[in-house]
Amino acid sequence: MSEPPLLETKDQAAPPMRDPVESRASTGARIAALAHGSGVTQASFLEEALACVAEEFESPRATAELRFPSRVIKKDCLRGEADPEFWTEAVQSMLTSCLVEGTPQARLFKHTSKQLDIALLSAPIVGAKGTLHGALALVAPCHNEHEARESLALLGPICSLIAFISEEIASGRGAPSASAEQNETLKKAAAYTSRTELAFAVTNTLRNKTGCDQIGLSLVRGKKIEILSISGLDEVRGRSPGVLQMRSAMEECRDAGVTIAFPKVDGETSLGARNWRLHAQWSGATSGSCVASVPLKVEDRLAGVLSLRRSSRDPFDLELLEECCKLVEPYLAAVDLIDRAHQGLLPHARRSVSTGLRNWLRPGAWLTKAMLVMGCLFALWFAFGSVHYQLTVPCQLSPIQARHISSPFDGVLWESHHAAGDMVEEDEILATLDTRSLVLEQEQLKADLRGLRIDESRALSTGTAVDLQLARANQAQILASLAIIEAKISSSVIRAPFAGMVVSGDLRDREGQVLTKGEPLFQLSKGEGWRLELFVPEGDADEIDLKQTGEFSSQARPDLTHAMTLSRLSATAQLHEGRNVYVAQATTEIESEWVRSGMAGIAKVDIGKRRVWWVVLHRFMDSARLLFWL
């Protein structure tokens, strides 16, 4: 390596030598005090400890890196006014060398013109069990080689202290609260738009941190395993041999409910209490690789399985698998949240139904179980049961026997004596017409008749046969005209042909008006019977048949119902209230004084037995068929 440029310093006298023991004690006390703060984490502790070390060694640049199974932490500390990138390459080289070799290292650089040497120092961060967690490298000014060796000797115990405290923090002391970890996890998960994207990010990151060859993450769906992601792959193909082997191992872990590692780790009975056949097959299919599966729980519920594979020379230990479990479990809950957030309406409904069924089937829920049974019985009745179906249509009352009375000739209405709703007797006067002009015409005809009779007598006396016949013919004509006039005068008094009720006709406001011959004046009914006119929509016309029975109720007396029997069905449609209808006639027996012709009501025709679902849905189905041509 080429010598890095020297740190710029001013000429000054050499400082007095430090007491290594005293310096080590003060720095160690300061670092130990950092672990007792509230909310301390491995990252925050390493950052503050590195600042203490840099201050102790008067280092312009210091770098530390911690490597744990679940994460890698790297921190830098810069002091002074020197260029931040001045010692970057040299310090990183020392850090990498120490991580590879795992031993303390030092390099001394001399300057020919100044009485100041520069030492690059690096020491491994080794845990209590001899586990290499990382390394620390820094630039330290010194005056000679002896001082550089003392600084290196001081750096070793400080790195051991950092390793010890980091392990304590990882084991629970000074760790952040669960809510803080959850919030941090949710913040990271919020950056992903799908559960697959998040799952691949988790497995790929975990593979980089642990050095495994392959990591797979799956969800437990009842008795099924759904593999979300496998590190190093773009997508999961369910039929590939490698995925099938991993799926089998995940199912074995799901059934066992415990952490599984193969081959068995010496001293770890919890990982190898049995000969896990499916894991052994997976290991054999991958040239004897070390494989393991960890059950993942969310709220004490088995929610997923994490499977790992690494080289046969690097077996798994319980600590590594526990660290991986702690890292992935929070994200597994986030995966479930993202899955629910991006589901459509149908999956949400299916999930809600499934959750409701599980709640109803739990032990002790007798009320919910009874409700479920009742719901199932109702569904069966709705699908296969039948009910008595009645077709409801509007209807109108009209009398069976009715007589229409019209104007007998063109004349002026003189007086009207009755209106609709009146009860009349036989030969009772309903209305009279003005006959004054008829009487005058009658008198004129009578005078003409008298003159013709005189002409007849003169013809008899003279013996003229032609004049006699002409006089007699004119008399016959006058007599016929008189008969017509007398018939009109006699019919000018309009009388009731029978006793009954005036159904329609009210001429009281038309007195003095001219009536034309044949104009309807009154409608009379004997009141001996009533019939119904049912207005059946054309969509239900095929349900109507003669001799069907039913009942109706009028709007005037909705509290009363009356039986009816269909007697006639029209063959052509009519327009009623803006829609096509078929008019069906039905006979009914009503002997009540309150009944009036034209009363409207509702009729219910008994159609017969029909399926419940058809009664409820047939109108909607018919509309859908017409709308979508089904």
* Residue pLDDT, tens place only, 276-333: 889 889 988 888 899 999 999 877 788 899 999 988 888 888 888 888 888 888 777 6
Burial annotation 344-371 (CB, 10 A radius, 16+ → b, else e): eeeeeeeeeeeeeeeebeeeeeeeeeee
pLDDT of residue 596: 78
Residues 193 and 274 in one domain: yes
CA distance 442 to 161: 146
Report the 3 state secondary structure along 170-233.
HHCCCCCCHHHHHHHHHHHHCCCCCHHHHHHHHHHHHHHHHCCCEEEEEEEECCEEEEEEECCC
10 assigned to some structural domain: no
Of 171, 197, 226, the domain-final residue? 171
385 assigned to some structural domain: no
Residues 439 and 582 in one domain: no
CA distance 526 to 406: 18
Residues 286 and 312 in one domain: yes
396 assigned to some structural domain: no
In the sheet where 61-68 sits, what is the strand order? Answer: 71-78, 61-68, 132-142, 117-126, 105-109
- Stretches in the chain below the pLDDT threshold 50: 1-22, 24, 173-180, 182, 266-270, 272-273
Q: Which domain holds residue 189?
A: 178-345
pLDDT of residue 178: 41
255 assigned to some structural domain: yes
Residues 158 and 225 in one domain: no
From the list 21, 94, 33, 19, the residue with the least C-alpha distance to 59 is: 94
Of 482, 504, 524, the domain-final residue? 524
CATH number (domain holding residue 602): 2.40.30.170
* Residue pLDDT, tens place only, 75-116: 888 887 666 567 888 888 888 888 888 888 888 877 655 556
Residues 610 and 539 in one domain: yes
Residue bearing tokens 């032609």 = 466
Residues 182 and 308 in one domain: yes
Residues 199 and 69 in one domain: no
164 assigned to some structural domain: yes
Residues 306 and 264 in one domain: yes
Please tell me what DSSP assigns to residue 144: S
Residue bearing tokens 């027996």 = 589
pLDDT of residue 158: 84
pLDDT of residue 383: 92
From the list 114, 60, 133, the residue with the least C-alpha distance to 91 is: 60
pLDDT of residue 353: 76
Domain count for the chain: 5
Residues 302 and 200 in one domain: yes
pTM given for the model: 0.40
* Residue pLDDT, tens place only, 139-153: 888 877 778 888 888
CA distance 301 to 29: 44
Residues 513 and 540 in one domain: no
Residues 464 and 498 in one domain: no
CA distance 100 to 102: 6
pLDDT of residue 6: 33
CATH number (domain holding residue 35): 3.30.450.40
Of 171, 188, 223, the domain-final residue? 171
550 assigned to some structural domain: yes
SS3 content of the chain, % helix, strand, coil (to 5): 40, 30, 30
182 assigned to some structural domain: yes
334 assigned to some structural domain: yes
Residues 184 and 318 in one domain: yes
